[in-house]
Structures are given as structure tokens and as C-alpha cells.
Amino acid sequence: MRITAIWVYPIKSLRGIPLHNAHLGPQGIKHDRRFMLWRVGESGELSKIQLDRYPECSRFAQEIVGDEIHVRYQPPSEPLVPPSPEQSVVLSVPLDPDVSRLDRQVVNLHQGMVNGYRMGAAYDEWFTACFGFPVVLVYIGDERRPVLGTFSPRAQPISPPTQQGWLSYLYSYVWGARQQPEPEPDWLTFSDMAAYLVASEKSLANVNARLSSGPVDIVRFRPNIVVDGDGEGAFDEDFWAELSVRGRPALAMTKMCNRCTSLNVDYETGRFGEGDNGAVLKRLMSDRRVDKGSKWTPVFGKYGFLVDGLDGLDVAVGDEVEVTKRTGERPVWDWQYKDSSIARFYRYT
């Protein structure tokens, strides 16, 4: 297989930026999802802005220019909100803002909490004018969100030792491993549940064969890395456990990606699509509800993290990718993102 596309999303939920080459780090592609938008409620509470509830996010284009993110609002032919002068202004957001004068803001994304930084009134007012309701822009800075469940490869269940290995295992536990400090857990920026999302063009072709209104683009699935799937069948990624890039182990693939109504967004109108164009999620319901941990949602794509011992890797479109480890069964989703009792901050001593 080969990499056919690379995408980065500096401000979460807005349109992605296609890259020819990228640096892969422990928390994702460089600059990925370092910022996020939040809606301000009547009493001041914040709720996350994502495509499944706010399809108008698809009308915001972003690009990296030097050390800034340039954001443009592109009103559709049928406007979503009344026009305003701000909508014709290109917003410049520093990639690495000085946080020393920014106010702190606690936010909760899928029960992974973090104390981020509010970027300030100028940014909030621009997004508010474009969305038509109060919005704040939050930067994560050097703060960290925890990885919950067993989405991290470092949190995967360990197979019990064989009968011959029990004695040495117990000795190691009592006298060795138990006395060693625990490794630092994986952590996230504002990406949903993992550092990377990998998708296959073979699987996209399978989805598009179900649609009578014409094909949809891979952008709807918001991957970081797209591979052609050459030699593999559609949805073979369900069973991928490790991907190597240019012959080097690179990504530990842990969980399948359960999809939501963001797949139904028409990026041209900033609204949910009509007919088959707005029924992509429904077309996957018949045979892609294959995750026992989330049986009501269909699956497309695979989540991943850098493999142990790899701090970073430069990749490019065209790089060769090989499946170097597989699982015999599909992984099971166990991130209880609807359970507020598990909400927590990242902690490491």
C-alpha cells in the first residue's frame, strides 16, 4: 500500500488542510487539533462545536501560512447567517500563541478534561459573527487530555504468561517490575480518542458504491492518513494492529472509529445533505455495526498511536505502507464518552 493523502486540522472541526509531507509525533501530525471552538450557553456554560451538530463548520477553510493559521469563512450560496463585515475578513491565528496573558478555561471533551487557554475577544467575536451565536476559541498549549479506556497501545490488555513462564513472571513482578516507575501514559490534544485516524480508499470505494447520488470525498471521514488499500479488501483495516512506513514500524492501530452524523454533512451547503448525499451514515448501518462495544454505530477507519520507542517520523504522500501486525478479532470500543462519572484530567507522577 501507499499513502495517498495526509490531512491536518489545526482548529478542530473546520476544514482540513491537505499536506504532501508531515511530521508524525506522539500526539499526532504537527499542529493537529491544537485549537477548538466552543459554544457559549445562556448561563456561560460551554458545549463543544463539532460537525455532527454544527455542519456549518464545513464552510470554514484554514491554511498554515508561516507561523499562523489563516481562517476564511465561505458563505454558501444560500446563506446560513445574516452577512456581516467580519465574514469577509481573513482571521490570523498564531500557531504558538504566548499564553502568559491568556485566561484559563476548563473544558471537557469526551470526558477527557483539560485546562486550556481562551484566545481572547478578537477571535471570539470573529467566529461569533460567522456562526451567528456566541463562540470562544480555546488553545490547548502544553496541557494534556487523558486517553481513556484501552485506546492507547500502552493500555492494551497483556496476554497472560505461558505455564512455563509463571515463575519468572511472578519473580519479575514482585522484585522487578513492581519497583519500576510506570511509564508516562499517552495523552491527546483536542483529537477525539487517538492521535491518528487512518482510512483506506478501498473502504471509501465500498461506501460510494452504496450511494446513488454520486460519490462522496474522503474529507467527510476526516482522516489524518489515507492509504490506497492496494492488495487489501474493503474494511480490512478493522484487523490491522501495526502499520510500517518505508519498512519501519510506525503506527500501533488500537480501535475502530465509530461514526456519527458528520458523515452526512454537505460541505458545499454547510448543511446536512439531501437524499443519499445526507444518508451516508444510514448506508453503513446494514453491515458496518461490527464493534461489540458500540453496537449501534457503524465503523469506518482505524485509530492509532506511534509505536513504542518511536518519538517521531517524517512521512510523505507516496510512501510505502505495510501491515506488519494483525489481530484475529476486531477490537472492542471501551471509551465511555457518555458517562460523566469518569471525566478526569490527565495525571502523571
Strands (E), 95-233: 103-109, 112-118, 135-139, 145-146, 187-188, 196-200, 225-227
Q: What's residue 181's pLDDT?
A: 63
Counted residue by residue, the chain has a size of 349
7 in Cβ contact with 223 (< 8 Å)? yes
Report how far residue 202's alpha carbon sits from residue 269's, in angstroms, rounded to the nearest whole number. Answer: 27
> What residue type is 219 in one-letter code?
V
Give CA 320 to chain center in angstroms: 23
pLDDT tens track, the chain, 349 positions: 999 999 999 999 999 999 999 999 999 999 999 999 999 999 999 999 999 999 999 999 999 999 999 999 999 999 999 999 999 999 999 999 999 999 999 999 999 999 999 999 999 999 999 999 999 999 999 999 999 999 999 887 655 544 445 455 444 444 555 555 677 899 999 999 999 999 999 999 999 999 998 999 999 999 999 999 888 899 999 999 999 999 999 999 999 999 999 999 999 999 999 999 999 999 999 999 999 999 999 999 999 999 999 999 999 999 999 999 999 999 999 999 989 999 999 987 5
Q: What is the pLDDT of residue 62?
A: 98
Cα 64 to chain centroid distance, Å, stands at 19
d(CA 228, CA 251): 16
pTM score, two decimals?
Answer: 0.92
Residue among 301, 299, 282 nearest 290 (CA)? 299
**pLDDT on residue 348:** 76
β-sheet bridge partners, residue 216: none
168 grid coordinates: 519468572
Non-local (6+) Cβ contacts of 318 within 8 A are 2, 3
The pairing of strands 265-266 and 271-272 is antiparallel
Domain ranges of the chain: 2-149+188-333
Is the sign of the CA dihedral 22, 28, 30, 33 positive or negative?
Answer: positive
What pLDDT sits at residue 120?
A: 98
Do 303 and 194 meet the contact criterion of CB atoms below 8 Å apart? Answer: yes
In whole angstroms, what is the distance from residue 317 CA to residue 320 CA? 9
Residue with cell 471537557: 108
- Give, as one character, the DSSP assignment of residue 36: E
